Amino acid sequence: MTLLSFDRRCSEIVAQTQLLRGAIEGADLTRPVPTCPGWNVGQLLRHLGGAHRWAEELVRTRATEALPDEHFRDLSPYAQEDAAELAPWLVEGAQMLADTLREAGPEARLWTPVPDLGQVAGGRADFYARRFTHETAVHRADAVLALGGEYTLDQEVALDGFDEWLALGSLPMHFEIHPWMRELLGHGRTLHFHATDTAPEVAAEWVVDLTGDAIIWRRAHEKAAVAVRGPLTDLLLIIYKRCPARGAGVEILGDEKLLDFWLERVSFG
C-alpha cells in the first residue's frame, strides 16, 4: 500500500484547484450546492480559498494553537461571486499553501486539529498537505456536481483520500466530541468497501470493524455484515456523503440498515 508522497500532496493541492478553476469558467456561481446546504458555488469557493490561506498561515508561522477561521465560515458576503474574478484568487491561495508547505517540509511541527495517530500526521506540516489535497478534491466534486458536470479523480488520490477519511473518522476523540458515535459499536457490525474498477494489486478494499470498543479499519478482503461494491471514486463520494449509496453502478450486499446507520453517525468534522 503506497500513500501519496508529501511532494505529490503539495502538487495535488494546486492541481485540484486548477481543475476546479477550469470547471467554473463561465459558470453561474450563484447555483446552489446540494452537498453543502446553504451555500452557492461562489460561497463554496470562498470557503475553500479561505481555508487554503488559513492553513498557509498556520504552517508559515508554525502556529501552536488554532487561528481564527470565521472569515471562511461566514459566507453571507459572498453570494454574488464572479468566476473571472474569483478563479485567480482561488489558485493563488492554493499555490501559496503548496509553496509554504514545501518550504516548511513534512516534519515541521505545528498545531493540528487532531493528535498524531497512525497514518494521520497530526502535529506535522504533512497533515495539512494531506488534508488539503482531499479537502480540495472533495470540494471540487461539490462544485462540479452542482454545476451539472462529470467528476473524475485520479486513482492514487482517491485511494489516499479513502484511507485518510477512514483514519480521521475512527479517531477515539470522536467518542468525546460526538458521543452518539458510540452507538455504532456492536456485535457483528462490520462493513466492507470494494472498488470494482481497480487492478487486484491496488488492494482497493477496506473493512470497517465496529465489533470492539473502538472503530477499527484496515485494507482487507473479508466477509462483512454489509458489502458495498462500486467504482472507487463513487465509493469515496459515498463515504463523504456527496452522493447516495444506492446509485448506478454501486451494489450493496447484506445489512443495508447498518450501512445507513454508519453513514448517518460517522463523522470527523
Q: Is the pLDDT of residue 70 over 90?
A: no
Q: What is the CATH number of domain 6-151?
A: 1.20.120.450
At residue 128, the pLDDT reads 96
pLDDT mean over 3-23: 97
**Per-residue pLDDT reduced to its tens digit, 170-184:** 998 889 888 989 999
Phi, psi at 170, each rounded to 5°: -105, 10
| Domain 165-265, architecture per CATH | 2-Layer Sandwich (3.30)
Q: Is the pLDDT of residue 253 over 60?
A: yes
At residue 117, the pLDDT reads 52
Domain extents in the chain:
6-151, 165-265
When the pLDDT of each residue in the chain is averaged and rounded to a whole number, the result is 94
165/112 Cα distance (integer angstroms): 16
Give residue 9's identity as a one-letter amino acid code.
R
Q: Name the band, by pLDDT with cuts 50, 70 and 90, for residue 148.
A: very high
CB 10 within 8 A of CB 98: yes
76/60 Cα distance (integer angstroms): 28
Q: Is the pLDDT of residue 8 over 60?
A: yes
5/2 Cα distance (integer angstroms): 9
Give residue 124's identity as a one-letter amino acid code.
R
At residue 192, the pLDDT reads 98
Q: Is the pLDDT of residue 138 over 50?
A: yes
Q: Is the pLDDT of residue 119 over 50?
A: no
Share above pLDDT 70 across residues of the chain, in percent, rounded to a whole number: 96
At residue 105, the pLDDT reads 98
pLDDT mean over 142-164: 97
For residue 235, give Cα distances in angstroms to 8, 24, 193, 197: 22, 24, 7, 11
Identical fold between 6-151 and 165-265: no
Q: Which residue is associated with the grid cell 503506497?
A: 2
CB 203 within 8 A of CB 159: no
**Per-residue pLDDT reduced to its tens digit, 195-227:** 999 999 999 999 999 999 999 999 999 999 999
Q: Name the band, by pLDDT with cuts 50, 70 and 90, for residue 141.
A: very high
Which of 42, 35, 56 lies closest to 132 in space, CA to CA? Answer: 56
Furthest-apart CA pair in the chain: how many Å?
54
